[in-house]
Amino acid sequence: MFHREGHKIIFATLVFIVASFLLIDGFVGLPWLQMVLQITLLIFFILILQFFRNPKRNTLLNDIQVVSPVDGKVVVIEEVEENEYFKEKRIQVSVFMSPINVHVTRYPIGGKVVFSKYHPGKYLVAWHPKASVENERTTVVVENESYGQVLHRQIAGALAKRIINYAKEGELVQQGSESGFIKFGSRVDLFLPVDTQIKVKLNQKVRGGETVIAEQA
């Protein structure tokens, strides 16, 4: 199953691959070179398919838990000042996605979308200290009565040139459902209450919609 954001790219890539195969057959005379070029094209196509895959995830709905919004590796767990929305101290948990991870972004909690904003910006590498405030990004805050408010921020990286955000202020959303998509690698930051119980560790691999990141104290 492939994500709808990749349908056009997958089709265009397939057309390019087929055309390239025909050109190789017609203009490359050396059999070994034909094979090398065709295998290279096939590997490229497989990588595109892998990037846009959208596997089904089984989210165990729980209003006092925060699940990971994306697949990847936990690279930051620290107390910081969140200055865009809360304007107070929060615990930041950041998940870095490599190009081979699933890039669907999911809602970490269910509830009402109370804030959703897009910010144009730079394309620093995703692990750069200033990436969360200078890169292209989207900020979404969801609130429910049991947990409170959770902010998740999609951040573009050096390769990610487009962030898709489905969140609309005022709508009710389900935990684990699709919040957006980041094309070609990046990271997502979570900003949680300072008294929350963090359930993950640095460098831990997490799965979007399934791994519990935090729980209400």
Active site residues: 186
Q: Of 41, 94, 42, 36, nearest to 68 (Cα)?
A: 94
Looking up tokens 């998509």 gives 181
Full DSSP string of 125-145: -TTSTTHHHHBSEEEEEEEET
Q: Of 50, 139, 64, 141, nearest to 103 (Cα)?
A: 50
The number of angstroms, rounded, from the C-alpha of 153 to the middle of its chain's C-alpha atoms is 9
Phi-psi region of 72 (alpha: psi -120 to 50; beta: other; left: phi over 0): left
Contact 16, 37 (CB under 8 A): no
Q: Of 115, 108, 168, 163, nearest to 141 (Cα)?
A: 115
Contact 122, 135 (CB under 8 A): yes
Show the tokens assigned to 205.
């691999």
Q: Of 93, 88, 95, nearest to 78 (Cα)?
A: 93
